[in-house]
Amino acid sequence: MSFPSMPNPDVVIIGAGIIGINCALALQARGKRVLMLDRSGIAVETSSGNAGAFAFPEVEPLATPGIMLKAPKWLLDPLGPLSIPPAYAPKIAPWMLRFWRASWRDRYDASVTAQAALMTHSRRALDRVIADVGGEAFIRREGQLQLFQSPRAFAATERARTRREELGIPFDVLDGPDAIAEIQPGLSPRFTHAIFTPTWMNVTDPALWARHLAAKVLERGAAFEPVTVTGLQRDGAGATVLTERGRVRAPHVVVAAGAWSHKLARDLGDRIPLETERGYNTTFPTASVDIKTHLTFSEHGFVVSRIGDGLRVGGAVELGGLDRPPNYARAQTLLNKAAEFLPGLEKTGGTQWMGYRPSLPDSLPVIGRAAHAPDVVYAFGHGHLGLTQSSGTGDLVAALVDQSGPQFDLKPFRANRF
């Protein structure tokens, strides 16, 4: 078959994860003919197996003031919530240095402000997307319960709670196991405090949600090619995408290749400190515990969420790069902890998974034009929040391509901010 199946597309999107798919949806809404390219298929990488949360209240970056004092303690435990395989430590050192700088008060404050703006924008864009694609059946509106094992651990959330109050995000503080059990029965009584965020939303299954959106995009006339992109060239007004099956030229190209995006940006002269925070989970097709809401065990770096008729236990941050094999002992560690906290949880019969969160040191994505190729738009690096910010990112990318509103300050998200 000739390549590509769509001749003369207006926009080529590299990457058909949740970000690329939302970019396609928003570009189509502006009348663009869109061609999506992905070597793995539609939403089969990181976007398929995440925890399914629209985490709009999570505006704090990972690099919080004081984090570098806590990190060494975490790093001592090779299966702890944050880990760096020793052989990868020299490779990630420059990123860690930027991460440390991002935790300084001035940068931290700027990141929170920018993240909050993107969250507000994304929340509104998601509402429009849900209405546009008939998506309500994929959405759960059951809130989130964030659990703490000691008054001290709860007290440490004071800054985050103040931020939420300032941003008008409603939440309730629950004091003691009885109050907690009213929201989620069956938890171990060790939790002394919890924060319940009633407006928190989840998808029923992130893979099915992404594929529902992609089906709409294809129904509305977009094309998809399963192909590996090998390079990118600036080409007059537009760009040429090189693939293993031939080249395709377009007036606009969007790079939404998740944790692999920096490799393509390098072809255009942009050196972007994109790393991956590898995350792990175990998914059970049926639920041995009746999960009433999204459960977050912040002190332990993992969550339990309902996925379809089953549940998913996952989290952890492993700064281990794109090439080393998964260490599924990490998924098992999270599951063992979850079973301590939810004593009814059955530990057998699950499927383990690892995904590559695409992450910049300041926890903000890159959304903006390539420095030397203004017709190439970058949309990657959403870290822990790619699902959450996907519709907002799609909207902003479409506006950049179309050179029309919305009024939104993209400076904090530019590629060359480091």
Ligand X SMILES: Cc1cc2nc3c(=O)[nH]c(=O)nc-3n(C[C@H](O)[C@H](O)[C@H](O)COP(=O)(O)OP(=O)(O)OC[C@H]3O[C@@H](n4cnc5c(N)ncnc54)[C@H](O)[C@@H]3O)c2cc1C
Binding site for ligand X (CB under 6 A): 14-20, 37-40, 45-47, 50-53, 55, 228-229, 256-260, 279, 281, 314, 355, 357-358, 380, 382-388
Minimum CB–partner distance for residue 203 and ligand X (Å): 9
Task: Please list, in sequence order, all residues whose beta carbon lies within 8 angstroms of the beta carbon of residue 283, skipping any fewer than 6 positions away.
Answer: 49, 307, 310, 311, 312, 314, 350, 351, 353
Q: Left if phi > 0, otherwise alpha if psi is -120 to 50, otherwise beta: which for 147?
A: beta
- The rounded distance, in Å, linking the Cα atoms of 295 and 58 is 14
Q: Is 126 helix (H, G, I), strand (E, B) or coil?
A: helix
Residues 260 and 112: their CA atoms lie apart, in Å, by: 25
Q: Which is nearer to ligand X, 65 or 246 (CB)?
A: 246
Tell me, what amino acid is at 30? R
Which pairs from 348-351 meet CB under 8 Å and 24+ separation? Answer: 349/284, 349/285, 349/286, 350/282, 350/283, 350/284, 350/313, 351/282, 351/283
Tokens describing residue 208:
């099915």
Task: Report yes or no: 29 and 398 within 8 Å, Cβ to Cβ.
Answer: yes
Assigned token pair, 69:
């004092």
- Quick check: 9 and 248 in contact, CB under 8 A? yes
Cβ contacts of 242 within 8 Å, gap of 6 or more: 229, 230, 231, 232, 233
Measured CA distances, 401 to 68, 180, 207, 214, 376 (Å): 39, 47, 27, 20, 9
Minimum distance from CB of 192 to ligand X (Å)? 25
Tokens of 39: 């070597």
Q: What is the dihedral angle through the alpha carbons of 200, 205, 208, 212, rounded to the nearest 10 degrees?
A: -20
CB of 178 to ligand X, least distance (A): 29
> Which regions of 43-100 does DSSP assign to beta strands (E)?
53-54, 82-83
Which residue's CB is nearer to ligand X, number 192 or number 359? 359
For residue 306, give the 3-state DSSP assignment.
Answer: strand
In the chain, the amino acid numbered 3 is: F
Q: How far is CA 228 from the centre of its chain?
A: 22
- Reading the block at residue 355, the tokens are 């995904």
